[in-house]
Chain A
Amino acid sequence: MKPKVAFYWCASCGGCEEAVIDLAEKVLDVVAAVDIVFWPVALDFKTKDVEAMADGSIVATFLNGAIRNSEQEEMAHLMRRKTQVLIAFGSCAQLGGIPGLGNLWNRETIFNEVYRDSPALVNPDGVFPVTEHRDNGHTLRLPRFFDTVRTLDQVVDVDYYLPGCPPTPNLIEQAIGALLSGKLPPKGSVLAPDLALCEECSRRDTKPEKLSLEAFHRPSEVLIDESKCILSQGVPCLGPATRSGCGAQCVEGNMPCTGCFGPTSRVRDAGAKSLSAIASMAASNDEAEIERILAGIPDPAGMFYRYSLPASRLRRKRQEAV
Chain B
Amino acid sequence: MSEARIGVYVCYCGTNIAATIDVAGLAGYAATLPNVTVVRDYKYMCSDPGQELIKQDIHDHGLNRIVVVACSPTLHEKTFRGATAAGGLNPYLFHMVNIREQASWVHEDKAAATAKARDLVRAAVRRVVHHRPLERRQTAVHPDVLVVGGGIAGIHAALTLAAAGKRVYLVEREPTIGGHMAMFDKTFPTLDCAACILTPKMTAVKGNRNITLWTLSEVAAVEGYVGNYKVTVRRKPRYVLEDVCAGCMECVEACVYKTPKFDDEFNLGLSKRKPIYMPFPQAVPQVLVIDPETCIEFKTGKCKKTCLEACGDRNGIDLKQPERMETIEVGTIILATGFKIFDSRRVPYYGYGDYPNVYSALEVERLTNASGPTGGEMILRNGVRPKSVAIVHCVGSRDEHTNRYCSRVCCMYSLKLAHLIKERTGAEVYNFYIDIRAPGKAFEEFYNRVAEEGTHFIRGKVADVYPEPNGAGRLIVQAEDTLLGMVRKIPVDMVVLGVGLEAKADAQEVRRLFNLSCSAEGWFLERHPKLAPVSTFTDGVFLAGCCQGPKDIPDTVAQAGAAAAEALALIDAGHIEMEPNTAYIVEEACSGCKTCIPLCPYSAISYREAEKTAAINEALCKGCGTCVASCPSGAICQNLFEDEEIFQEIEGVLEYA
Contacts and interface: CB of A to CB of B under 8 A. Distances in A.
Interface stretch (B190-198, B572-580, B591-599): B591-599
Contact of B591 (A212, A240, A268): A240
Interface of B: 586, 589-595, 597-599, 607, 612, 626, 629-635, 643, 647
A244 interface: yes
Nearest to A243: B633
Nearest to B637: A266
Given A196-B591, A198-B593, A264-B633, 19 more contacts: A195-B590, A195-B633, A198-B591, A198-B592, A209-B598, A210-B597, A211-B594, A211-B595, A212-B598, A240-B595, A244-B591, A264-B589, A268-B647, A273-B631, A273-B632, A274-B632, A277-B593, A280-B599, A280-B626
Listed residue (B586, B591, B607, B631) with the most chain A CB atoms within 10 angstroms of its CB = B591
Contacts of A196: 591, 593, 632-633, 635
Interface in A224-281: 239-241, 244, 263-264, 266-268, 273-274, 276-277, 280-281
B595 A280 contact: yes
Contacts of B586: 266
Nearest to A232: B594
A175 to B, nearest CB: 22
A276 B633 contact: no
Interface string A9-24: 0000000000000000
Contact of A240 (B593, B599, B626): B593
A267 B633 contact: yes
A197 interface: yes
A277 B630 contact: yes
A280 B590 CA distance: 18
A207 interface: yes
Interface in A193-219: 194-199, 204, 207-212
Contact of B607 (A209, A267, A276): A209
A241 B632 contact: yes
Contacts of B647: 268
Contacts of B643: 266, 268
A209 B594 contact: yes
Interface of A: 194-199, 204, 207-212, 239-241, 244, 263-264, 266-268, 273-274, 276-277, 280-281
Given A194-B589, A209-B607, A268-B647, A277 B632 contact: yes
23 contacts: A196-B593, A196-B632, A199-B591, A204-B592, A204-B612, A207-B593, A207-B594, A208-B594, A209-B594, A209-B597, A212-B598, A240-B593, A264-B634, A266-B586, A266-B633, A273-B631, A273-B632, A274-B632, A276-B629, A277-B595, A280-B599, A280-B626, A280-B630
Given A241-B632, A266-B634, A280-B630, A210 B598 contact: yes
Closest 9 CB pairs of A and B: A266-B634, A241-B632, A240-B593, A196-B591, A277-B632, A196-B633, A210-B598, A199-B591, A198-B593
B634 A197 contact: no
A263 B597 CA distance: 21
* Chain B at the A interface: SS class: loop
Nearest to B636: A266
B589 A266 contact: yes
A230 B590 CA distance: 19
Contacts of B635: 196, 264, 266
Contacts of B598: 209-212, 281
A212 B629 CA distance: 16
A240 B592 CA distance: 8
Contacts of A274: 632
A195 B629 contact: no
Contact of A276 (B591, B592, B630): B630
Contacts of A276: 629-630, 632
A276 B628 CA distance: 10
Nearest to B630: A280
Given A207-B594, A211-B598, A280-B599, A240 B632 contact: yes
Contacts of A244: 591
A23 B600 CA distance: 45
A241 B635 CA distance: 10
Given A264-B633, A277-B630, A239 B593 contact: yes
A185 to B, nearest CB: 15
B589 A195 contact: yes
Nearest to A280: B630
Nearest to B631: A277
Q: Which of B594, B612, B630 has the most CB of A within 10 A?
A: B594
Nearest to A240: B593
Contacts of B597: 209-210
A276 B631 CA distance: 8
Contacts of A280: 595, 599, 626, 630
Contacts of B599: 280
Contacts of A194: 589
Contacts of B591: 195-199, 240, 244
A276 B590 CA distance: 17
A194 B587 CA distance: 12
Contacts of B612: 199, 204
Contacts of A241: 632-633
A245 B513 CA distance: 47
Contacts of A210: 594, 597-598
A281 B631 CA distance: 12
Residue among B586, B595, B597, B629 facing the most chain A CB atoms (10 A cut-off): B595
Nearest to A210: B598
Contacts of B632: 196, 240-241, 267, 273-274, 276-277
A280 B635 CA distance: 16
A243 to B, nearest CB: 8
A241 B631 CA distance: 8
A322 B424 CA distance: 85
Contacts of B592: 198-199, 204
Contacts of B633: 195-196, 240-241, 263-264, 266-267, 273
Contacts of B631: 273, 277
Nearest to B599: A280
Contacts of A209: 594, 597-598, 607
Nearest to A207: B594
B160 to A, nearest CB: 41
A268 B597 CA distance: 23
Nearest to A208: B594
B574 to A, nearest CB: 36
Contacts of B607: 209
B612 to A, nearest CB: 7
B589 A281 contact: no
B164 to A, nearest CB: 42
A241 B596 CA distance: 12
Contacts of B629: 276
B533 to A, nearest CB: 34
A99 B643 CA distance: 30
B653 to A, nearest CB: 16
